[in-house]
Structure 1
């Protein structure tokens, strides 16, 4: 283990990624340094100067939010909260030498490394997926999807989920119910189809029968058709058709969910690609450390499935917070750590109303991974208002 002590040498903490995990970890570390008088050098390496709150992209596409409500300067946030931001692109991690290489030629050393690089969108994984359809997984994509929805005069909308798990598991179900209600409110005749790889044929089955039942009832009430495909997906944009081995769906408007792939810097780094499934990065599910390096914390979406958790902002947030606590504990020689959160509350939209559910997180000693036990708390329009308020206040608090 890394030596636990307080001394006169500044501890260099390098945080890779300026998204949710990177921001949460860097802010907590910097604030602890200020409050406890610790000599820490906290540096975030981000490939762009913006911190985007990605869950709001769907609101941008549907006209419920504007781009200024979605992003804030991570550089300005660093100045405000006390961490340094280096706008550069990570190219490789040399964990054996405790160094990170960047695109601009830098080689950065560290005492602790927090890795939160999200996922890469693997549009190339299925024929035609990179060429046809719209998405709202980037701000630019959300803007283009918004324009396409404004032009849409009626017909068949297909939302394609080529594989699971993907970024934000609840998104497709939120999207189709909102699309159905939006079209109804606009007086547009539209069939909304969710074409998914969900193997059970029911929504959010991994979160348990109670959560799945509630969402299934809402999907049916919204008039959304849910179709299960076999994974052999091909998009024929010339004919406006999505084909799979067991189904063929015609569309007038195609919305797509990107396959998740390992970020390139991790794929190029020795020991940072999971052998059992190269889409993900290795992690110790109990404490989010790298299996081979105690001074490296893997808290991005790239490491959530191997930990038994969803690829979503909430588990990333908690993992980053826990990683920061562990680092502070080791540096101070015993600062008490609360541990990873044992419950996780998820909220979602469905049309004008909202959903709230809780997942208990239990560590399975035999399987050495976390398991989720989820149930519904409440469905109400007030949940939608609460979610909107939280999302927009996240960005407002950074400005």
Structure 2
């Protein structure tokens, strides 16, 4: 980057001053500077909201403490679908009756992928890319062994991500389901969900999107894109806290033809009937299994309402500005020292984190954590800079990337 280009680029202070979402940062709990100076890992675990600090004790004292078991009849039986509908409305582009909350991401993936395979008799192939997140790949390996299915692996370039053309030669009359991440966990590449879904449907297969790295940071239109199935976590950009429950989206057009494999009392047609045999509930409730984690759902509700107050388009606009700024800083401060920027420069092809590679980044990350600068590391040598639009400032990005440069120089 030339001196003239550096001069033309706004400073972090100017960017923060012009940021229409700057005041939203005050909604988040932030530890003192002695514990944290730059948090660049919101794509792994979002910061808690101050509202949650007040709402959780209130839930304990009132909904739980005062109503006790009556809470199930009064509100909690419908909490998985009520919260699901709100997530769908605010972040997924999903009409009511298609989203439920509960279980972990891994369990949700298992239920929906297994249901998709079983719903396509005569089709015994599952397609996934080799660089997808381990849990997605491991779940599919287990299902393939269970059902005698074959896995067809996409060998996409990890830096450029999975494109529709990568499915050429793999999709066919034996394809049951395709499973891809909307935003790649390593590079931050943003896939063209609409086009890929249409291509999968042309082959007669079902499409499942893993939304863990896109929900809450990238606008989604699952209904418009005619997506069949989707799963996402709630502890990243939905700030539900460590281990907060995942959600499952099942398109209404697919709900009656799919039979999820883990039958439990809460997903039965008559949960309190204590019937001798299982009969699935109607609609999205049939994808619930056991007693839902009602307490664990409460924090994410606070974040969904914060997102609703500003709108996903504003969130996306801030995300693009943050990642643009991070890339420009990386080009200026890191690339001259042997760092490679893995994430696409085109904002239309990236989510809300960027990844930079260097052989020393495992050691760099460990030292940064000791100094209160928190990115994260993904082997073999990727350092991820996660930028949560509503809680991250431009000054924080500058401080963090400058610290990465400084520690890298110490090790060279």
Q: Do the structures match in fold with TM over 0.5?
A: no
Higher RCO structure (Cα 8 Å, ≥6 apart): 2
More strand by percentage: 1
TM-score, normalized by length of structure 1? 0.29
TM-score, normalized by length of structure 2? 0.28
More helix by percentage: 2
